[in-house]
Amino acid sequence: MSAADWRRAMNLQPRRLGVPPGRGPAPADRAPQARARRFTNPVRVHHLLVLAVLLAYPWFATPFFTYQIGAQALALGLIALSLTFLAGSGGMISLAQMTVAGLAGYMVAIFGTAATDGVTLGWPWWLAVIIGIVIAVLAAAGIGWLSVRTEGIYTIMITLAIGVAFYYLALQNYAVFNGFQGKQKVFPPMLWGIFWRDATPFYYLTLACALAGYLVVVYLLRTPFGIALQGIRDNPRRMHALGFNVTAHRVAAYAVAGVLAAVGGVLFTWYNGLVTPGSVGTGWLINILVIAVLGGLRHPVGAFLGAIVFVLLQNFAIDVIDRERFNLVIGVVFLVIVLFSRDGLLGWWAALSARMSTQRGGSPWTAVRKRSYARSSSPSPSSPS
Amino acid sequence: MTRFWVWFWALLIGVPILAFTGWGLQDNPRLFVITLLNGLTLASLYFIVASGFTLVFGLMRNVNLAHGSLYLLGGYLGFFTAQFTGSWLLALAAGFAAAALVGLAMQVSIFRFMPGQDLRQTLVTIGLSIVIADLLMWAIGAQVHQLSPPAWLDGPLRGLPVIRAYSTYRLSLLPIGILIGVALWLFLNRTRVGMMIRAGVDDRAMLAAAGVNVNLVFATTFAIGAGLAGLGGVIGAVELSMVPGEDTRLLLASLVVVIVGGMGSVVGAAIGAAILGLAETYGLAYAPTYSVVFTFVILVLVLAFRPRGILGRPA
């Protein structure tokens, strides 16, 4: 048994850098007060500012920025949010989130309307969307049921294998998925006299869904379910001994993430106006991981941060370097982030604000806490069995 | 497992396979035997690539998701070496050496600095695979490159019993795979370095305490594992042709092979490769639309009953 195994077996946490041993991370008189305030009124000024900017965004941005940058980043962010939730709070890195999203898109095209040779049942859009999301969530739960039998690295590999298997199924099956062509012209509906694919309405539609997803995740992390899930991430054995059903919690987390991914997938399909095997191929499976890790897995907002950076790079990498070299740019950015930050952009932000707060003469305790947050390793899915 | 269950599983899996074999031989023996040979030779290629993957994982707990990129790199370098010198054996050596060098560089410059951080290592290899794949596409282009087999392995082998003729090169993959498998087994089980590697798999810290330079052992293993991917690339360059996208295909095959066979076990990789190769080719021959689904069903069944693979051991 190696030293690392012993430590895991004995449930000892590795000593964190920066925190003096034998002392709590925050003085006793401030902590409860701050925590109570945060719990009763979690909304701060910067939240309202960001919300105001997001709401006003289409009024000062060009349609290109509203649609290609804003709406796309929000839809992709929602899919990445499902991975952030799974990985950050559940400790399970699933590469099959884009598969769930793509499946929802395919189902909307199959049950709704699409201009292709394959099956399109032409049911009303709301029914198609509901059925698509339900099927995708069922598939997500199935993927979860399969992959929670494994841990850590194995989960990544199995979800990757499942995702690629679905890609080949969609590519080779012409009866249902229409093969290489996929489903063309899958558009959001006309409703209340508004065509929802126009830049501004579509932006608000994605914003509403993304905001709802974000709030649901933030809320869920404070519920007993979310707390138990984080406990399972940190030590499944102990949680099992406490009487929690580890497998059920993990599968439930996959299902919840499936809802987020499915909604994001429907939006992304509408955004593109089509869904093809290419949109569930290995490239996109990895891209979702890139987005989530780029932003940071610790907090749900990381997914959207990562998505904004990703979409900006995707659109403006042409100006920096050749059009075809987008993968090189995103790969190098991803490598730099993974090599030099423990937790994506959020990790850098935490390190920066820790440095700033000591320079401004702020409480050294806050600085220490932030620094330990910045330094401690990102949530590792490795766990004893 | 009691004797009853052994029989139960043997019957449950064996009877349908026997029934299918009987039907296939009676229906169209030529197709059946050719598919069998195709499957076994494909399995041989999968084994060569996946054994490197499983070797690296077994020792370092590092899932090298850039393994497919090393395969492609080895294949391209082998192609250009063969074009330049006209020697297939030199191409094999060049492919092995190039992939081994890149693997060594990766180990020394990156992985040494993040020991025990599985997730970060995995993410780094994903980033590397994106970068390497795009650099290769930039340098070489997206067109198909196919290596021609050496003259002494070119052309069909005639006069075989049921199937009359079969590609000599393709058939030679089988002994090559067996040779590499046996060599790997002997290396791991009969040499001093192999002993160190196996000791490192079981207990890394104890090996270091016993006075072995663990870093050197790690670097060697990584180089061999990466080199096997490059070797597989040169061998596959003849049979499968080199084109961007092959890296993901072989990476996926390696993943499935080691998941089915069990991580870190060379024999497991051989079993997994045989299952995957046969399932893929029989699927393609008898049910072309759903060949991938067979692979998937096998994966699901193995995971459902043996989550660590057929020969996998608890870590």
Residue of chain A whose alpha carbon sits nearest to that of B207: A2
Chain A contacts in chain B segment 131-170 (CB below 8 A): 131, 133-135, 137-138
Percent of chain B with pLDDT over 90: 2
B203 close contact with A: CB closer than 8 A: yes
Contacts B300 to A, Cβ<8 Å:
146
Provide the shortest C-alpha distance from residue B233 to chain A (in Å). 20
Joined tokens for residue A225: 């379910």
Nearest to A165 among B61, B126, B292 (CB): B292
Q: What is the mean pLDDT of chain B?
A: 81
Mutate to test the interface with A, among B109, B117, B126, B137 (most CBs of A within 10 A): B126
Q: What mean pLDDT value characterizes chain A?
A: 76
Residues in chain B: 315
Q: Do B118 and A293 touch (CB under 8 A)?
A: no
pLDDT tens string for chain A (385 positions)?
Answer: 455 555 454 444 444 444 444 444 444 455 555 555 555 566 677 777 888 787 777 778 777 777 778 888 888 999 999 998 988 888 888 888 899 999 998 888 887 777 766 667 777 777 888 888 899 999 999 888 888 877 767 788 788 878 888 888 887 777 777 777 777 777 777 677 677 677 778 888 888 888 899 889 888 888 888 888 888 888 888 888 888 888 888 899 999 999 999 999 988 888 888 888 888 887 788 889 888 888 888 788 888 888 888 888 887 777 766 666 777 877 888 888 877 777 777 777 777 777 776 665 555 555 555 555 555 444 444 433 3
CA distance B48 to B51: 5
Whether A124 has its CB under 8 Å from any CB of chain B: the answer is: no
Q: CB-based contact (8 Å) between A157 and chain B?
A: yes
The rounded distance, in Å, linking the Cα atoms of A250 and A244 is 11
- A147 contacts B112 by C-beta, under 8 angstroms: no
Q: Which residues of B touch A382 (CB under 8 A)?
A: 118-119
User: Is B287 near chain A, with CB under 8 Å?
Assistant: no
In this complex, do A339 and B130 lie within 8 Å of one another by their Cβ atoms?
Answer: no
Which carries the bigger pLDDT value, residue B147 or residue A314? Answer: A314
pTM of the complete model: 0.77
Closest CA to B289 of A173, A132, A366: A173
In the predicted structure, residue B85 carries a pLDDT above the cut 70: yes
- Is some CB atom of chain B closer than 8 A to the CB atom of A153? yes
Q: CB B300 to CB A146 under 8 A?
A: yes
On whether the CB atoms of residues B274 and B281 are closer than 8 A, the answer is no
Say yes or no: B256 contacts chain A, CB-CB below 8 A: yes
Say whether A338 and B304 touch across the interface (CB within 8 A).
no
Residue type, B234: V
Tell me: pLDDT of B180 over 70. Answer: yes
Looking only at the bridges linking them, the beta strands covering A194-195 and B156-160 are: unpaired
Residue A333, pLDDT score? 81
pLDDT band at B263 (very low <50, low <70, confident <90, very high): confident
Residues B26-49: tens digit of each pLDDT: 777 778 888 888 888 889 989 988
Sketch the domain layout of chain B as residue ranges. Answer: 35-243
Written as one letter, the residue type at B264 is: G
In chain B, which among 114-133 make CB contacts under 8 A with chain A? 116-120, 122-124, 126-128, 130-131, 133
**Chain A residues in contact with B128 (beta carbon < 8 A):** 331, 335
Restricting to A residues 353-382, those with a Cβ less than 8 Å away from any Cβ of B are 377-378, 380-382
- Contact between A334 and B126 using a beta-carbon 8 Å cutoff: yes
- As given in the structure block, the two tokens for residue A201 are 């309405």
Rg (CA), chain B: 20
ipTM associated with this complex: 0.73
Q: Do A172 and B290 lie within an 8 Å CB cutoff?
A: yes
Q: Is A173 on the interface with B (CB under 8 A)?
A: yes
Q: Domains along chain A?
A: 63-330 (1.10.3470)
Q: What is the pLDDT of residues B206-220, one digit of tens each?
A: 888 888 888 888 888
Q: Do A378 and B119 make contact, defined as CB atoms within 8 angstroms?
A: yes
**Using an 8 Å Cβ cutoff, are B228 and B180 in contact?**
yes
Q: How far is CA B144 from the centre of its chain?
A: 22
pLDDT digits (tens, 9 = 90+) for A6-61: 545 444 444 444 444 444 444 445 555 555 555 556 667 777 788 878 777 777 87
Identify the DSSP state of A275: B
pLDDT at A10: 47
Under 8 Å between Cβ of A218 and A260: no
CB distance A385–B124 less than 8 Å? no
pLDDT tens profile B92-116: 888 899 999 998 998 888 877 777 6
Judge whether A92 is closer than 8 Å to chain B, CB to CB: no
Nearest beta carbon to residue B134 from set A173, A174, A327: A327
Q: What is the pLDDT of residue A254?
A: 92
